[in-house]
Each structure stands twice: as C-alpha cells, then as structure tokens.
A and B are shown apart, each in its own frame.
Chain A
C-alpha cells in the first residue's frame, strides 16, 4: 500500500498562473483533507471532504478550490496563484471525520 500520494513534489509558479495539486489514497478512507504549513503558523486546514461527494471550507479557504473526484482522489486548485500561497501543502486522509489522519509527502510550492 502506498498510503497517501501527492503530485507534484515541487512546483514554481508565477503570480497569476493556475495549477492543480493531486492527492490519492489507497486505504479506503472516507475523509480527505488539504493543509498548508507555513513557518511559525503550524498546519492549517484549507478544505476537507468528509465523504465522497461532499467538500467544506476549513480555516484558510480563500484562493483555493477543491474537487473530490472519487473516493480515492481529492485535488486542490489554485486559480490565480499569489506569493502569499507559497507554502508546503499536505494532503491527509482518515477512515472517518473523527479518526486519526495520515499525511502524504507534501508539495513544496513557490509563487514568484
């Protein structure tokens, strides 16, 4: 089992460009999450999907959109990247909305 996988590992964008971060899990988990991690700020929840077909905003959703493509896949889209979105992005999954979360390897994004 690969667990939670994310692509790409690294990305550099120019201000205004768009991109989609991909996440997939093979643990048959129902819930999936997108976090960003910034120095001194800790992990902050961007969006989550409690189950297939549902998505909800987290603590810092502005500038992002998500799609729960199926039970395995949950993507995060930046429509018009800004330097403030430079961060490390982690996808996580859990069996349900109250169980332990397991993290993917992360995507390091730089917006110039």
Chain B
C-alpha cells in the first residue's frame, strides 16, 4: 500500500467553479500535511500546509484535514485557467520522512 494516494485525474472543471482535490494516507502517526502545485516542466511550489484537524483557508484555497479518516483535501474556489496544473499531496510521518502522492492533474476550462 502506498503511503499517499491521490486520484491521478485528469480533473476538469469550468472556470469559476470549485475544484476539489483529495488525498488519503496510510500512516496514522502522520503529523504534517502539505499541498504543492506543479506546472508542467516546473518544480513543485508550496501552496498550503495543515497540521491539525479542520479547515485552513488562504485566499481561494482551503485545505481540510480529517485525521480519523486519514484524509486531506484541497478546495480551490473560483477556479481560474491559471490554476491548471498538477497538485501534489505530501504527508510527513516523521523527521525527514515526507512522502508525496503521484499528483492530480487539474484542468480549468475557460
């Protein structure tokens, strides 16, 4: 079983809609959770981090964490074509142990 699982997509949403990206993880002791955005041919860029159960909002982005269900999600409100990218979920299980999912490719259709 992989440490971090994501639906590879592609996920297509119309411009202005809410995009919902999901991630599950296997280690119940996981402590920190991150969402990275990666444009094609570019490096991963950190967009959100979340450490405790509940929601964390930053602009159009909301991260949601449910440790009991071992589930973390990212909502993007008012999706824009510039949000089209691959979104990587990363989960820290201990010091220096950061595991990445394979990413979900999001396409926002104008």
Contact = CB atoms under 8 A, between A and B. Distances in A.
A102 B34 CA distance: 12
Task: Give chain B's interface residue range (CB within 8 Å of chain A).
Answer: 20 to 34
A98 interface: yes
Given A97-B95, A98-B31, A98-B92, A104 B43 contact: yes
A41 B45 CA distance: 18
B109 to A, nearest CB: 24
A100 B34 contact: yes
A43 B44 contact: yes
Interface stretch (B12-20, B60-68, B77-85, B99-107): B99-107
Nearest to B6: A42
A45 interface: yes
Given A48-B96, A56-B96, A105-B42, A43 B88 contact: yes
